[in-house]
Amino acid sequence: MYEWVKNESRNPYVTIYSTNITLNRSAIEFLDNPWHVMLGVNKAGKQVAIRPVTQQEVEDGLVTREECYRISIGRSYGRIANRSFCSMLDETFGLDLSTETGRKYPLSYDEAEKILVIDLGSGETE
């Protein structure tokens, strides 16, 4: 009898580097082609939130441009390039982003808030 193995590449995850945050394709699917994103930090919960932002939200004044981060979306990934935000994460959570390989973490989608949540407290994924 065969034991069917789950395709782990379909799990949403994020890799945090010293210069950017890279999301895999499974994570990007939750964001629904955003214009920009907002980034939030829950220090007590050791979490980072990624919220998609539409151009209409900015034009309507619901979100300011200062709250927005650019996201570049390729065929198999999404990338939020911001060295200062990554440095803040490194200092706040002690991630040690000095390696070139980055740190890989699981993601979950909060349906009620419509945000992706990076759980830094759960430890890195393989």
User: Rounded to two decimals, what is the model's pTM?
Assistant: 0.88
pLDDT truncated to tens, each residue of the chain (126 aa)? Answer: 888 877 766 789 999 999 999 999 999 999 888 999 999 999 999 999 999 999 999 999 999 999 999 999 999 999 999 999 999 999 999 998 887 888 999 999 999 999 999 999 887 665
Which among 76, 11, 66, 18 has a CA at the least distance from the CA of 39? 66
